[in-house]
């Protein structure tokens, strides 16, 4: 019988019970000397083994990457500290009649409580936070990250309700993407335990592509059983409509289901649902617009909708489409083609 925790071994040799007790790594040299002495005194062959605990890294860093990490070690340094002082000191402006916001802490499972205490202790040691007797208080919550570790967040909902809104227009995503032509280095701000994504897009020197994680979400979407389910699916796919040729025409059977008292899932809706998933398995990479060269627009009216594509050097920048209403469907081909130009 072996006990690796106590480094002991016990067995029977004939009628005799033999017990062996390990002495740890620090006694290795004494053990070798003892065994060598025994071998000399007994004059017979002996063998013994000595084990060392040694950590071996299996994640070898490529030489080129190692050189970059060494050259820019200050950038990749994993430290917790306060940022440098800024020219402006931030203040939260509350409504004049608002008193202090004080929300009691939530109840946490034991394992989360230990994690919160660990992170708080780490931040205290680094000087990022300090003990406070302020009359303001907001509870913290833990959110599990993709790597299964915990992100500590503060629940400021009560404070936000008492804060005077600071109206600031948020840029449109498509306008931001249009400014990226010619860029080769794309960076994101790192807020230690925070994170910022490119809003569901993968940006490279080749152009803009759909985030594969979002594509997976679309492919795994179950068949909607309610209007709310259809709207959720259309909301997700509609966010990427500029990647999909004739999106409006393809999605029209599903759009019809969102009208009041009109939810009847049939073969036409099933076909549109499956076709949308099929199209999203291989969406094109859209090029970033270069405003120094001419643009090309191709438009067409066919079937139940009209569509257009904006291109440069025959490569698509964005697709546009719209399903036609019953009144517009009755118009002539020439009128539909003109509508494609105008709309």
Report d(CA 316, CA 283) in Å as an integer: 11
Nearest residue to 111 (alpha-carbon basis) of 153, 137, 150, 155: 150
Instruction: Give CA 196 to chain center in angstroms.
Output: 8
**Greater model confidence, 4 or 203:** 203
Domain interval for residue 34: 2-42
- Asked if residue 116 has pLDDT above 90, the reply is yes
Q: What is the CATH number of the domain that holds 337?
A: 3.10.20.370
Mean pLDDT, the chain, integer: 80
Query: Is residue 87 assigned to a domain?
Result: no
In a 3-state reduction of DSSP, which class is residue 19?
A: strand
* Alpha-carbon distances of 47 from 98, 122, 211, 250, 252, rounded to whole Å: 81, 49, 60, 78, 81
Whether 328 and 215 map to the same domain: the answer is yes
Query: Is residue 146 assigned to a domain?
Result: yes
Whether 260 and 329 map to the same domain: the answer is yes
Query: Is residue 277 assigned to a domain?
Result: yes
Q: What band does 158 get if pLDDT is binned at 50, 70 and 90? A: very high
**Greater model confidence, 53 or 296:** 296
Q: Label residue 186 left, alpha or beta by phi (over 0 means left) and psi (-120 to 50 means alpha).
A: beta
Q: What is the CATH number of the domain that holds 105?
A: 3.10.10.10
Q: Label residue 18 left, alpha or beta by phi (over 0 means left) and psi (-120 to 50 means alpha).
A: beta
Report d(CA 319, CA 300) in Å as an integer: 12
Query: Is residue 295 assigned to a domain?
Result: yes
Query: Is residue 281 assigned to a domain?
Result: yes
- Asked if residue 321 has pLDDT above 60, the reply is yes
Burial class (CB in 10 A: 0-12, 13-18, 19+), 13: exposed
- Asked if residue 249 has pLDDT above 70, the reply is yes
Whether 219 and 288 map to the same domain: the answer is yes
Last residue of one domain, picked from the residues 109, 137, 168:
168
Number of domains observed in the structure of the chain: 3
- Asked if residue 331 has pLDDT above 90, the reply is no
Q: Where does 127-264 have alpha helices with state H?
A: 157-161, 173-178, 212-219, 227-238, 247-257
Q: pLDDT of 53-96, one tens digit each?
A: 555 555 677 888 888 888 887 776 666 777 778 788 888 899 99
In a 3-state reduction of DSSP, which class is residue 203?
A: strand
Q: What band does 195 get if pLDDT is binned at 50, 70 and 90? A: very low
Pairing of strands 305-312, 315-323: antiparallel
Whether 223 and 333 map to the same domain: the answer is yes
Nearest residue to 319 (alpha-carbon basis) of 223, 250, 236, 220: 250
Q: pLDDT of 265-285, one tens digit each?
A: 999 999 999 999 998 888 888
Query: Is residue 186 assigned to a domain?
Result: no
Query: Is residue 114 assigned to a domain?
Result: yes
Q: What band does 12 get if pLDDT is binned at 50, 70 and 90? A: confident
Whether 337 and 224 map to the same domain: the answer is yes
Query: Is residue 323 assigned to a domain?
Result: yes
Whether 140 and 230 map to the same domain: the answer is no
């Amino acid at each position: 019988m072996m006990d690796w925790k106590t480094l002991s071994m016990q067995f029977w040799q004939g009628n005799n019970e033999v017990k062996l007790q390990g002495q740890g790594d620090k006694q290795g040299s004494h053990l070798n000397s003892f065994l060598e002495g025994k071998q000399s005194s007994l004059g017979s062959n002996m063998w013994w083994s000595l084990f060392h605990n040694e950590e071996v890294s299996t994640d070898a860093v490529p030489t080129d990457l190692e050189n970059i990490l060494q050259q820019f070690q200050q950038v990749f340094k994993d430290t917790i500290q306060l940022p440098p002082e800024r020219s402006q000191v931030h203040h939260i402006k509350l409504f004049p009649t608002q008193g202090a916001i004080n929300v009691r802490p939530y109840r946490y499972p034991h394992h989360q409580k230990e994690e919160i205490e660990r992170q708080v202790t780490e931040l205290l040691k680094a000087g990022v936070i300090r003990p406070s007797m302020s009359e303001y208080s907001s509870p913290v919550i833990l959110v599990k990250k993709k790597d299964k570790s915990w992100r500590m967040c503060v629940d400021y909902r009560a404070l936000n309700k008492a804060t005077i809104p600071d109206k600031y227009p948020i840029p449109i995503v498509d306008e931001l993407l249009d400014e990226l032509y010619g860029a080769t280095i794309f960076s994101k701000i790192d807020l230690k335990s925070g994170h910022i994504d490119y809003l569901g897009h993968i940006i490279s020197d080749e152009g803009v592509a759909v985030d594969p994680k979002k594509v997976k979400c679309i492919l795994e979407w179950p068949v909607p059983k309610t209007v709310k389910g259809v709207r959720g699916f259309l909301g997700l796919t509609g966010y990427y409509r500029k990647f999909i040729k004739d999106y409006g025409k393809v999605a029209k059977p599903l759009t019809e289901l969102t009208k009041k008292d009109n939810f009847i899932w049939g073969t036409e809706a099933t076909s549109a649902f499956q076709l949308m998933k099929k199209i999203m398995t291989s969406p094109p990479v859209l090029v970033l617009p270069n405003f120094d060269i001419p643009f090309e627009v191709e438009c067409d009216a066919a079937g139940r909708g009209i569509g257009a594509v904006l291109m440069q050097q025959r490569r698509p920048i964005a697709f546009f489409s719209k399903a036609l209403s019953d009144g517009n469907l009755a118009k002539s081909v020439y009128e539909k083609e003109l509508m494609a130009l105008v709309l």
